[in-house]
Structure 1
Amino acid sequence: MGEHIRGILLFHPRHIASTLLIAFLGREAEKRGETMKGTLLRILAALSCLLISTWANVVPVQDFSLERMAGKWYLVGFATNAQWFVNHKADMKMGTATITPTEGDDLDLSYSNLNADGTCWRMTHLAKKTDTPGRFTFHSQAWNNDNDMRIVDVVYDDYALVHTIKTKEGVSEVLNKLYSRTPEISADLQQKFTQYSIDTGILSDNIAFLPKNAECPEA
């Protein structure tokens, strides 16, 4: 299995640096007489650093329009390697998000999702603008993490692909969300979201398109 993975990395242009790093660490480990476990831990740590560097370089969409981003969206796609998502993805259903620009060019984010028992889950964030259009930051009180959110692809009357780096206690993970103006999404859009998520380090098993759900009543 290890040789198979190395073969994939070797011939994938995006992962040449990772392949070289793995080979280097492997040779260094042999010199030191490290155990396999120690070597794997060093490789995983190094790859984590590479991933974080890749996430940090994600650029928001050009000519981002705050006003055109406003309104109601359906959260139709979700992708992350976070353990909480792995544990609960089978039970997740489509929710809605309402995006409202503020006078200071920040974003009010209001999320809602109807639970199976008829109750409504709601969450709000105030995402603060940065010097880069299309990039916002906020702290989640509910999850106690810092969020660096970037709108990386958008057709304002159709869909938006949002990439967020979530950091808690020094540990970062990426969350990709696919928003749609309607509950339906095309096969092409599903493929676009899937490929983007894989390119940003998400395992294919951790990319989900959420089933339709009834909506919460107006708050």
Structure 2
Amino acid sequence: MKILCVLLFAVFASAEVMPMPDFDLEKMGGKWYLVGFATNAKSFVKSHKADMKMGTAMLVPTKDGDLDLTYTHLNSDGSCFRMNNLAKKTDIPGRFVFYNQRWRNDNDMRVVDAIFDEYAIVHTIKTKEGKSEVLNKLHSRTTKITEDLKEKFKQFSLDTGVLEENIAILPMNGTFSQFLRSLI
């Protein structure tokens, strides 16, 4: 019953999460490091959290106001994982929608907080077969983030229904560090 209440809270809390009021598509563009990851997906702690490492994101604004997303990170077997999506703009600046072919889910993505030359917090509601999950990402222009920013991301994730054990500040992978810096 407790898990059901947490999940319901997360869905309702996420529905109320709005993009930041002064979102700037052009300033969102460029190379980012994915340094924080938080989700209420049940399998995260058991299957993925321990193996996750920092990755990169390249966000490219299109002439139509959409956002081309490319995420890259190192898999635990040493191979490189890359995922691309075209996030379509909505009537609300800072809110985008896309269908992820790989995971077969609908995504409602909102840029909720940013200082564009430092960090961005992105909140996504992922829906598949009528079930929704929350995914929060912390993007940074550098591989190092402040304790205040870590705490801000953690508190935002808790406020959107993510359990503390499902919040991760991602470590750099030593063998992948040079590769990450040279990407994109």
Is 2:15 the partner of 1:56? yes
Work out which of the residue numbers 69, 72, 78 in structure 1 matches 2:28. Answer: 69
Q: CA deviation at 1:45?
A: 4.8
Question: Could you list the runs of 4 or more consecutive aligned residues of structure 1 that deviate by over 6 angstroms after TM superposition?
Answer: none
Which amino acid counterpart does residue 50 of structure 2 have in structure 1? A
Q: Which residue among 159, 169, 174 is the counterpart of 1:209?
A: 169
Rg larger for: 1
CA distance in 2, matches of 1:82, 1:57: 19
Q: 5+ unaligned residues in a row in structure 1: which ranges?
A: 1-39
Distance 1:123 1:158, change over 3 A: same
CA contact (8 A) 2:40 2:163 kept: yes
CA RMSD in angstroms, aligned pairs only: 1.7
- Distance in structure 2 (CA, Å) of the matches to 1:144 and 1:136: 17
Would the aligned equivalents of 2:10 and 2:161 in 1 still touch at CA under 8 Å?
Answer: yes
In the TM superposition, residue 57 of structure 1 has moved relative to its aligned partner by 1.1
Q: How many residues align?
A: 178
Change in CA separation of 1:218 and 1:156 when aligned onto 2, cut-off 3 Å: closer
Pick from 85, 91, 100 the counterpart of residue 140 of structure 1. 100
Partner deviation per Cα, 1:107-134 (whole Å, 9 max, x = no partner): 0000111234432110000000000000
Identity of counterpart residues, as a percentage? 60
Matched, 1:103 2:73: no
Asked if structure 1 preserves the Cα contact closer than 8 Å seen for 2:13 and 2:159, the reply is no
> How far 1:88 moved relative to its partner?
1.2
Among 84, 91, 94, the residue aligned to 1:124:
84
Q: Which has the higher contact order (CA 8 A, sep 6+)?
A: 2
Larger strand fraction of residues: 2
Q: How far apart, CA to CA, are the structure 2 residues paired with 1:55 and 1:85? A: 18
- Deviation of the 1:84 alpha carbon: 3.1
What pairs with 1:16-55 in structure 2 (closer than 5 Å)? 40=1, 45=4, 48-55=7-14
Between the aligned partners of 2:15 and 2:103, the Cα distance in structure 1 is 21
> 1:46–1:80: structure 2 CA closer, same or farther, 3 Å change rule?
closer
SS at match of 2:73: strand
Deviation at 1:198, TM superposition (A): 0.6
- Cα 1:73–1:137 shift into 2, 3 Å: same
Residue 53 of structure 2 aligns to a residue whose secondary structure is: coil
Deviations 1:96-153 (A, max 9, x none): 0000001100000001112344321100000000000000000000000000000000
Cα deviation for residue 52 of structure 1 reads 1.7
1:177 & 1:136 partners in 2: Cα distance?
15
For 2:4 and 2:44, the matched residues in 1 are separated by: 22
TM-score (structure 2 length as normaliser)? 0.90
